[in-house]
Amino acid sequence: MTMLYAGVLAFLVSLVVGRFLIPALRAMKAGQSIKEIGPNWHKSKQGTPTMGGIMFMVACVIAVAAFGWKDVAAGDWSALFVLVFALLYGVIGFIDDYAKIKKKENTGLTAGWKFLLQLAVAIAFLALLRLEGHLSPNLYVPFLNVSVSLPWIVYLIFAAFVIVGCVNAVNLTDGLDGLAGSVTLPVAVFFAVLSAWWDRGPVGVFAGALAGGLLGFLVYNFYPAKVFMGDTGSLFLGGAVCGMAFALDAPLVLVPVGIIYIVETLSDILQVGYFKLTHGKRIFRMAPLHHHLELGGWSEVRIVLTFTGITVAFCLLAFVGVMYRYSI
C-alpha cells in the first residue's frame, strides 16, 4: 500500500507544481526550440515551455522522502540510490535545456560532454549498488529463469553502456506530446508491481512515486501540450527506468518493457546508416519511427495510444517472464 500512497502524493504534487511552474517558465521565456528537420506542423509548438520534467522530479523527491524514510532508517537505501541516480541524469538534462534556451536554438551540450557525464554517473551508480550488495555479476535471463555469470569487469562495462544507451533511447522517444510520459507510465507501474512481488518495497515506493508524478505531468503534457518535459525530464526518466532495473538486479527486463525505446532508437540508427550507405536514400519517411507514422497520416494521439498499448502488453509479458525468479 505504501507505493500506492506514494503514487497518490506524487500525482497531487505534480499537479500543484505544474500550476506554478508553467507560468514561471513562460515568464522566463524558457520555450522549446523546434528542429528545422522535423515535421512542418511541429513549428507551431515553437516557444512551448520546456523543462516541465521538474514537475515529476519534485513529486518523486517529496513522495520518496515521505514514504521511504523508514526504509532508509532501517538500512535499505535502494530507493534513495535510484532517486539520486535519476536526479543526476535530470541535472545533465537541465544543463542541456538551459544551454538551448540561452542560445535560442535546439543545440545544448555537445554529444561528447553528454556521453562523458552520463557514463560517469552510470559507473558511480553501479559501483555504489555493488558496494551495498544490490548488484551481482549474475545476469538474470527472463523467461529462461537462468542466470549467466560474468566477470565483474565485463558486467560493469556492459551495464554502463546499457544505461547510457537506454537513457538516450528514452530521450529520443520524447518527440510527441505525451509520448515519453505515456510510454514510461506502464513501465513505472510494472516495476512497482514487480517490487511488491519480489518483496523489494523500497524500489516499489520510488516506482509508485514515478507513476503518480508522470500521471500528474501528463495532465499538462498530453496533446495539445501546455509544457514539454525537456531533456531535464527525459534523461531523468531514462535514469529512473534503468535505476529500477539494476536496483532489482534484473537489467535484461529492460528489453521487453523498453520495447518502444528500442524500436525508436533502431529506426533512427537504420535510417542514418542506410542514408549514408546509399548516398541519400531512406528507409523511413522520417526517423525516429513516430515521425514516420506522423508523415503517414497518424495523429499524435493515435501514435501515443498505440505505443502505450504496446508497452502495456510487453510489460505484462515481461512480468510473466520474471515472476518465478525466486520461487524455485
- What does the DSSP assignment read for 242-299? HHHHHHTT-GGGHHHHTHHHHHHHHHHHHHHHHHHHTTS--SSSSSSHHHHHHHTT--
For 52, the grid coordinates are 516541465
- The pLDDT assigned to 110 comes to 85
Angle at 237 between CA 182 and CA 217, to 5 degrees: 50
In the predicted model, what is the mean pLDDT of the chain? 93
Residue 136 in grid coordinates: 551481482
pLDDT value for 270? 96
pLDDT confidence of residue 106: 63
Residue 328 Cα distances to 100, 145, 146, 323, 324, angstroms:
52, 9, 11, 11, 7
Q: Which residues of the chain have pLDDT under 50?
A: 328
Instruction: Show contacts of 95-104: CB within 8 Å, 24+ apart.
Output: 96/231, 96/232, 96/235, 97/30, 97/50, 97/51, 97/230, 97/231, 97/232, 98/51, 100/33, 100/50, 101/28, 101/29, 101/30, 101/31, 101/50, 104/33
pTM of this prediction exceeds 0.85:
yes
Residue 133's pLDDT is what?
A: 84
| Residue-wise pLDDT tens digits, 22-62 | 999 999 887 666 665 556 656 667 779 999 999 999 999 99
C-alpha dist (Å) from residue 109 to 29, 102, 113, 119, 214: 19, 12, 6, 15, 26
pLDDT reported for residue 100: 83
> Which three three-digit cell numbers place residue 27?
515568464
The SS3 assignment for 31 reads strand
**pLDDT tens for each residue of 232-241:** 999 999 999 9
168's grid cell: 538516450
Predicted pLDDT at 38: 58
Give residue-wise pLDDT tens across range 99-108: 888 876 666 7
CA distances from 43 to 32, 34, 106, 230, 259 (A): 10, 6, 12, 16, 29
In one letter, which amino acid is 254? L
35 phi and psi angles, rounded to 5 deg: -65, 140
